[in-house]
Amino acid sequence: MSRINYGCDYLRRKANTFSIIARCPRTGQLGVAVASAVPAVGSMCPFVRSGVGAASTQSWVNPYLALSALAELEKGAGATDALSTALAGDEAGSFRQFGLVDGSGASAAHTGTECMPWAGQILGTGVAVIGNMLTGPEVLDAMAGAFDDSRSEDLAERLMLALEAGDAAGGDKRGKQSAALQVYANEVYALIDIRVDEHAEPISELRRVLRIARAQLVPFIEGMPKRGNAAEPAPPEVTQMLLRSPPDRPEGGGSRGR
């Protein structure tokens, strides 16, 4: 993997964040995991389009960068060209941090020279790891290492392990507040889309939510209508499971899970 480091001397209020954007080579799934010391990071930074690409926009966040880049990917551009085209229309590119992985696994990233230190990026096949206002380069190194060491796992688990590794290595130097995980498979809707918007330990809480989502939400999503297939009723066992109170379902949840 290749790494680029940048720093700056400007102190501004931004979504100072670390994230990993990736594609699974076995399944073609695309996803983003992200954490920050601002609330609701999952509402503003990650963008994923099934079969097209995944992106995270951070530092001085510009969601239109992600939307523009994904639109370019949909037209047939590769990750590098899509990122360049998106940034060309942004006059504040020096304040942006942006990572992108396309549907073939090519990756690209931009870390503006005025992103708050420590800031940098690591690119590899099928993965981009980016962060700013971190404790140091060890955060991204740990994330990239955890992702690379977990190839036998599914994409959601690999992204979660990378986020946990970045957190353990120091993470955002201001502290912790929110985290999110999105994974898309073959449909226009997400396979997994979970968020922790305000918590003292958001990544640990995201792990708990992921366990519950795997047990309760993913079986429901797997029974939802699929593109090109006739819609069918929800599987009876899933319906029966969801009719129970959250604490009485697999992995618990609700008040008993806290």
pLDDT reported for residue 258 = 43
Amino acid making up residue 68 = S
| SS3 label, residue 59 | strand
Write down the pTM of the prediction. Answer: 0.90
User: Tell me: the pLDDT tens digits for 92-145?
Assistant: 999 999 999 999 999 999 999 999 999 999 999 999 999 999 999 999 999 999
71 backbone dihedrals φ, ψ, rounded to 5°? -65, -40
As a whole number of angstroms, the distance between CA 198 and CA 41 comes to 9
| Helix (H), strand (E) counts: the chain | 7, 11
Decide: residue 256, CB within 10 A, 0-12 exposed, 13-18 middle, 19+ buried. exposed
In this structure, what token pair is assigned to residue 188?
């226009």
Q: Are the C-beta atoms of residues 230 and 185 closer than 8 Å to each other?
A: no
Integer Cα distance of 244 and 168 in angstroms: 36
Q: Is 180:195 a contact under the CB 8 Å cutoff?
A: yes
Per-residue pLDDT of the chain (258 residues; tens, 9 = 90+): 665 554 333 333 344 589 999 999 999 999 999 999 999 999 999 999 999 999 999 999 999 999 999 999 999 999 999 999 999 989 999 999 999 999 999 999 999 999 999 999 999 999 999 999 999 999 999 999 999 999 999 999 999 999 999 999 998 777 899 999 999 999 999 999 999 999 999 999 999 999 999 999 999 898 888 988 877 777 888 888 888 888 889 888 775 444
- Top CATH class of 2-210 equals alpha beta
**122, 1 in Cβ contact below 8 A?**
yes
Residues 196, 199, 201, 205: is their CA dihedral positive or negative? negative
Phi first, then psi: give them for residue 252, nearest 5 degrees.
70, -140
Q: What is the pLDDT of residue 117?
A: 92
Q: What is the pLDDT of residue 4?
A: 54
